[in-house]
Amino acid sequence: MLGMAGCAGSSVKLENPSIPEPLIAQLPLKVGARYPEVFDSFVHEEQVIGKEKWSIDLGRANRILFTQLFGSMFTEFSVIEGDADVRDLGLDALIEPSIDAFEFSVPSQSQTDDFAVWIRYRIKILDADGVQVANWPIAAYGKSQTTTFGGDAALQRAAVLAMRDAAALIILQMDKATGISKLGDAKNANVEPQPDMPPADPDQMNLLTTAAKESHDE
Amino acid sequence: MSDFRHSIARRVIVVAITATLLGACVTSRVENIREGNTGILEGEGIVIMAKSYHLGNETEAKFISCVGDSIGRGRTGLRVVPYTEFVDALFPWFEPRTAPAETKGLPTLMSRPGVAEMIKEKGVRYVVWLDGDTDKVAGGGSLSCAAGPGGGGCFGFAWWQNDANYEASVWDLDGLEDAGTVSADVSGTSFLPAIVVPIPLIARTQTKACNALADQLKLFIVSEEIA
């Protein structure tokens, strides 16, 4: 459903986008995802200085996107509602995605025919014991031309492309960036804690992040 | 009064004829560079896509549609798989971020689970990557229009020049290699004279580039000429 508010700007609503079924081998893991409240209704507005005001309502698009995505990536997947304790869920891993930032640009700002959308997600992963083992920021981008789809449809299309970009990035790099596939092995291994070993300090555990990888590469 | 109207009519006709003669100012140059064998069998098809905007490409979506329509048209038309259908079927391997930038990436791509089978199912033999765009490179003149209770009109003369530069890289998914490149460089000048009534004489630069590129691509792909 697209809304047009004449010369005062425009309001675009994203109707339940879907990503295609990915051509990948699933990871043999039992995974849950817990979503923040903002994934149920996300609205972003931007006022172009001296000109029009634009808004985009993603609605439940983020929830739908990640549910489809993780359902395709893992052999067992479920959405966890509420504040259930991870240790009671019998999962290999719990994923907590969130939105760090959302921006878009319109032709009157960029002096081009393009609408562009940037979304920065953050993927946190907890192991079976509820310990955070990864905190992975990802930046996604989508662009669409106004001459083809018209203003509202172009912004909508750019948002969908940005979400597809995020999905593609997660599929390609999630295991490499977070090591999530090892969590299934770690949970299944019967490791008895040694009496003379100090208990693991969550604050000292290696947090696998893209930023950490980048500094190592430098 | 009648002489005045005749005078105006004569001027309009002279301007129209002059502008018509000048309005056919479109120059084009089409080239191809062959690097491998081509040829296409019954049932095989092609998919036409723009190089990724992540690489800075700005090819217009309507140009891609135009090339696809032109190649698929007529008795000798090739089977063109819609690029959205191809990209969705091979998700996430042909997204703007993930699509292979060079043919060196094709062996790895084809080794991914399900990719080779899906490409075979879609019957795609060649991927054509389009790069380039149409830009306004020059212009001038001025035009002013006015309207009042007694009527209105425009007076003046404006012109502009568009350059359409496009390049199509053809990848052979059978041999996993670069088959070659076809390029089209079209330049056209449009005129807008106005004596009371504007007479637009638009050089269809982008359309000419589309048709020229499509015709040459069809010849390039169908021909089994040895590189």
| Residue B209 · residue B184 · CB < 8 Å | yes
Interatomic CA distance for residues B190 and B25, integer angstroms: 8
Q: Is the CB of residue B110 less than 8 Å away from at least one CB of chain A?
A: no
A168: closest CA of chain B, how far (Å): 5
pLDDT at A79: 95
**Where does the pLDDT of residue A25 fall: very low under 50, low under 70, confident under 90, or very high at 90 and above?**
very high
Of A170, A182, A185, nearest to A140 by C-alpha is: A170
Q: What's the whole-number mean pLDDT along residues B104-118?
A: 94
Given an 8 Å threshold on Cβ–Cβ distance, is B91 in contact with A21?
yes
Q: What's the whole-number mean pLDDT along residues B205-213?
A: 94
Q: What's the whole-number mean pLDDT along residues A89-113?
A: 90
Two structure tokens written together for B172: 């052979």
Q: What's the whole-number mean pLDDT along residues A2-7?
A: 37
Residue B33: partners with Cβ closer than 8 Å, 6 or more residues away: B180, B181, B182
For residue A64, give the H/E element and its range: helix A61-73
* Interface-testing mutation among B95, B110, B115, with chain A (most A C-beta atoms within 10 A): B95
Residues of B within 8 A of A172 (CB-CB) are: 92, 98
**Where does the pLDDT of residue A189 fall: very low under 50, low under 70, confident under 90, or very high at 90 and above?**
low
Distance of CA B34 to the CA centre of its chain: 20
SS3 at position A125 = strand
Residue A201 pLDDT exceeds 50 = no
Interatomic CA distance for residues A159 and A140, integer angstroms: 10
Given an 8 Å threshold on Cβ–Cβ distance, is A165 in contact with B61?
no
Q: Is the bond preceding residue B92 a cis peptide, omega within 30 degrees?
A: yes
pLDDT at A3: 36
Q: Is the CB of residue B60 less than 8 Å away from at least one CB of chain A?
A: yes
Beta strands in chain B (DSSP E): 26-34, 45-50, 79-81, 124-148, 151-172, 177-198
Q: What's the whole-number mean pLDDT along residues A6-34?
A: 83
Interatomic CA distance for residues B100 and B87, integer angstroms: 12
Two structure tokens written together for B198: 């504007």
B53, B60, B113 ranked by CB distance to A24: nearest = B113
